[in-house]
Amino acid sequence: MLYKAENGKLNPWEDGEFLESINDVWVSKNANSPWSFQIMFIDSVNDNWVYRREKSIKQPKSSIYIRTSEGIPYLKPEIQLLYKAGSSKVREKDFKDFQTMLPLLSPEEKNGLNFL
């Protein structure tokens, strides 16, 4: 099942519905299954990712992902933390995620937090 994230809630993405302003889609096997993964749509200009909440924050799209040993791309932790911290009200769970991840970040990843 596909769910669109809007206004802090997850609602079913209806068959045939066009997502004009949705930036997040969550996926599960069915309504009773746990979340399988999240799809985040990014803003970009040419070959650059642009942070939607602060347009001066941007990087080449090729630099915001890393890959697992199997070659699966995922968003760098420091970019994900930026999204989690960027709302007008930081949720407690997002702050806990930051506290959990910070000691695990490499020096290079911590340097990536400088744009926050």
- Mean pLDDT on 56-73: 91
Q: Is the full-model pTM beyond 0.95? A: no
φ, ψ for residue 77, nearest 5 deg:
-55, -40
User: Which residue would you say has higher pLDDT here, 16 or 88?
Assistant: 16
Instruction: Single out the residue of 8, 66, 64, 75 nearest to residue 38, CA to CA.
Output: 75
Q: Name residue, tokens 């200009």.
A: 45
| Confidence (pLDDT) at 115 | 59
Q: How confident is the model at residue 91 (pLDDT cuts 50, 70, 90)?
A: confident
Q: What is the mean pLDDT of residues 50-79?
A: 89
Higher per-residue pLDDT: 90 or 64: 64
Strands 35-40 and 73-75: unpaired
Confidence (pLDDT) at 94: 85
Taking the mean position of all CA atoms in its chain, how far away is CA 57?
A: 15
Distances in Å between the Cα of 3 and the Cα atoms of 24, 57, 83, 87 are 8, 28, 19, 20
Q: How far apart are CA 116 and CA 105, in angstroms?
A: 15
Mean residue pLDDT of the chain comes to 86
In the numeric block, which tokens belong to residue 75? 């968003």
Instruction: Inform me whether the pLDDT recorded for 69 exceeds 90.
Output: yes
In this model, does residue 25 exceed pLDDT 90?
Answer: yes
